[in-house]
Chains A and B, each alone.
Chain A
Amino acid sequence: MSGAGLAGNEELLAEQGAQQGSARQLLRRFRAHRLAFASTIVLLVLLVVCFGADWIAPFPQGKQDLLLGPTPPSLEHLLGTDELGRDFLSEILYAGRISLAIGLFVALLSTFVGTALGAVAGYVGGTPGELLMRITDLFLIVPAIALLAVIVQGLGPSPVTIVFALTALGWTYIARVVRAQVLSLREKDFIEAARGIGASNLRIIVSHLLPNLAGVLAVGMSLAVASAIIAESTLSFLGFGVQSPQTSWGSMLSQAAGYVGTPQVYLLYFPGLFILVTVLAVNFIGDGLRDALDPQGKHL
């Protein structure tokens, strides 16, 4: 957007309702965070190439070329081929669908559950709120990766059970943050005012509290995406992740572990780099959103 366009927007902004104005302002503040803006583009590209892999990937999924065998990166196979002669770039793009889908689903579900429970616990306060916090405490006592492995192994490893297990553990963090935020917000004057004019509890929570939680939720969600993708890869490495013939970046990495010490060690680097870039991008987006959504503009 050019400078003139920006100025034009500001005039528009003055004329239009505050709702739309704040959305534009938000976008502008987000764009000011250059790293976050670049990360958004990177993440969008990753989403397009992975979910559009059927059209974009240079080779179909699982296409073997046994005569070719393992080859280092070349012009024809940008990231080389594995021992079955499969094009590694294509395999990574197909695998990315499951990794990214797990990350996004877990973030959405755990944000939804965590926000609902956290908001109610914070708003109601008292014993129910305390009880919820004691429950979230319990989740911190046993290492998450051990609990995840037990749940996934108990239910049978599949992308669905992995999403379920990650959500079952992931909601607690968001619930804690949301509760803390609601506890401080509910004492504010504008909530008092809403109560004074007779707004129902549900209305106060939905239209007065939730919009003020946007900042913490944006950060919480981006953290959830990032940690879900890493947790999925770790589960796969330990043997409790996505099972063949389905593949994820984690399961590709755990297979590539066998290439350490062989000439095909380059196969170890690529899936990990995709995870690294995705998680970095998501974290930067979270930082940018936090800065853009924080009304006071102060943060650590």
Chain B
Amino acid sequence: MFTFIIRRVLYSIPVILVASFVLFWAVRSTFDPLAKLRQAHDPSVIQREIERLGLDRSIVEQYFLWLKAFVTGDWGTSSRTGSPVFQLIGEALWPTAQLAFWGLLVAVVIAGAVSVYSAVRRYSLGDNLLTGASYLGIAMPAFWFGLILIQTFAVWPKEQFGLAEPPLYFVGLHSPGESGFNLDYLRHLVLPVAALMIALVATWSRFGRAAMLDALSSDYVRTARAKGVPRRQIIWRHAVRNSLAPFVTVVALDAAVLIGGLVVTEQIFAIPGMGRLFLDSLVAGDVFVLLPWMIVVAIAVVICNLLADIGYALLDPRVRLR
């Protein structure tokens, strides 16, 4: 198991390096890092920046220059705000991590429950309704769903019942002056988490249902049934356990999708996290933030994929031998 993990970790390093080079090349060839300086009409400043970033050298040399600074913690300063990029990303990570944690937790629990129910009660009314709901969840833009949630659960009840405050909030993660884990925090979390998880729950529950059905129609389940193992035990100890490994893999491989969803969700609910940082930087053409942003996100996704592999190996001993 230990060598398996080491091997997977070592394999991830070149993946990140190659990905970072491709991203570096893509960003350098589409965005001009000196765009803002050029407005100042000061040739000496521009010349200094060209030398500092190595813009007169080849793209490979530029990349290694950048990589060296990146690895040593020198991430540069944002051309938009003037503050250090390391600090900007550090501050943005916390709200995003909270949202990702709750979204992932709620999505996995709901998708898992739906999978088991739908597979055990296959073609029942409940299964058919859930199947229909998942088709809808996959077919609609998540931001539209988020906006409808705001209208339905925050704006409408406030107007309809003449409340001073909406029952659920839709701006930020805390009211001004509030912090920590309290009712105010939960009232802020419900809507963004719901908007974030809808598409994930829809796809994961379809996949989980298929995996459960697969397990339920397998030989070991038939054997267990034949020797009189109680139904509840067959479902939870045999079928669920065996469909857990592919389910975990799909969830972890969707890490990039989750982060994409966070970008949209943070925009809808004005949450000052990584997604907002990305959009603000992109609009301002701030390559000094965009590039480290994408590398940090890429590393996060690679770590999730790594955890997926390790999780699979823990849940299914057969793959360790490969």
Say if the beta carbon of A197 comes within 8 Å of chain B: no
Determine chain A's interface SS by DSSP, over half rule.
Answer: helix
Among A143, A237, A239, A261, point to the contact of B257 (Cβ < 8 A): A143
B148 / chain A contacts, CB cutoff of 8 Å = 268-269, 272
Say if the beta carbon of A81 comes within 8 Å of chain B: no
Say if the beta carbon of A50 comes within 8 Å of chain B: no
**Which residues of B, 11-62, contact A by the 8 Å Cβ criterion?**
15, 18-19, 22-23, 26-27, 30-31
Most chain A beta-carbon contacts within 10 A, residue among B140, B142, B259, B294 = B140
Say if the beta carbon of B256 comes within 8 Å of chain A: yes
CB <8 Å contact, B141 and A233: yes
CB <8 Å contact, B264 and A234: yes
**Which residues of B, 137-183, contact A by the 8 Å Cβ criterion?**
138-144, 147-148, 150-151, 155
Most chain A beta-carbon contacts within 10 A, residue among B150, B278, B282 = B282
CB <8 Å contact, A141 and B298: yes
A253 / chain B contacts, CB cutoff of 8 Å = 141, 143-144
Residue interface bits B91-111, CB-to-A below 8 A is 1, else 0: 000000000000000000000
Q: A138-B19, A140-B253, A143-B257 are in contact. Are A238 and B139 (CB under 8 A)?
A: no
Chain B nearest CB, measured from A165 CB (Å): 11
Q: A150-B290, A253-B144, A300-B210 are in contact. Are A279 and B279 (CB under 8 A)?
A: no
Say if the beta carbon of B136 comes within 8 Å of chain A: yes
**Which residues of A, 202-260, contact B by the 8 Å Cβ criterion?**
226, 230, 233-234, 237-240, 250, 253, 256-257, 260
CB <8 Å contact, B282 and A250: no
CB <8 Å contact, B264 and A154: no
**Which residues of A, 66-106, contact B by the 8 Å Cβ criterion?**
none
**Which residues of A, 121-164, contact B by the 8 Å Cβ criterion?**
137-138, 140-146, 149-151, 153-155
Q: Which residue of B lies closest to A263 (CB)?
A: B159
Q: Which residue of A lies closest to B27 (CB)?
A: A150
**Which residues of B, 260-302, contact A by the 8 Å Cβ criterion?**
260, 263-264, 267-268, 278-279, 282-283, 285, 290, 294, 297-298, 301-302
Say if the beta carbon of A113 comes within 8 Å of chain B: no
Among A144, A153, A237, point to the contact of B141 (Cβ < 8 A): A237
B143 / chain A contacts, CB cutoff of 8 Å = 233-234, 237, 253, 257
Docked CA distance A226–B155 (Å):
31
Docked CA distance A144–B254 (Å):
11
Say if the beta carbon of B220 comes within 8 Å of chain A: no
Say if the beta carbon of A276 comes within 8 Å of chain B: yes
The count of chain A contact residues (Cβ–Cβ below 8 Å) is: 39
CB <8 Å contact, B27 and A276: no
B22 / chain A contacts, CB cutoff of 8 Å = 138
Among A142, A154, A230, A234, point to the contact of B298 (Cβ < 8 A): A142
CB <8 Å contact, B302 and A141: yes
Among A137, A143, A261, A300, point to the contact of B259 (Cβ < 8 A): A143
CB <8 Å contact, A234 and B297: no
Docked CA distance A300–B206 (Å):
10
| Interface size range of chain B in the complex | 35 or more
Chain B nearest CB, measured from A160 CB (Å): 15
B141 / chain A contacts, CB cutoff of 8 Å = 230, 233-234, 237, 250, 253, 272, 275
CB <8 Å contact, A265 and B210: no
CB <8 Å contact, A233 and B264: no
CB <8 Å contact, A280 and B282: no
**Which residues of B, 211-265, contact A by the 8 Å Cβ criterion?**
253, 256-257, 259-260, 263-264
Chain A nearest CB, measured from B12 CB (Å): 10
Q: A145-B263, A276-B136, A280-B139 are in contact. Are A233 and B144 (CB under 8 A)?
A: yes
Q: A155-B30, A260-B147 are in contact. Are A138 and B256 (CB under 8 A)?
A: no
Say if the beta carbon of A283 comes within 8 Å of chain B: yes
CB <8 Å contact, B264 and A238: yes
Docked CA distance A256–B210 (Å):
37
Most chain B beta-carbon contacts within 10 A, residue among A138, A146, A250, A272 = A146
CB <8 Å contact, B263 and A238: yes
CB <8 Å contact, A144 and B256: yes
A260 / chain B contacts, CB cutoff of 8 Å = 147, 150-151, 155
Closest 7 A/B residue pairs (Cβ) = A154-B30, A143-B260, A279-B139, A272-B144, A145-B260, A261-B155, A280-B139
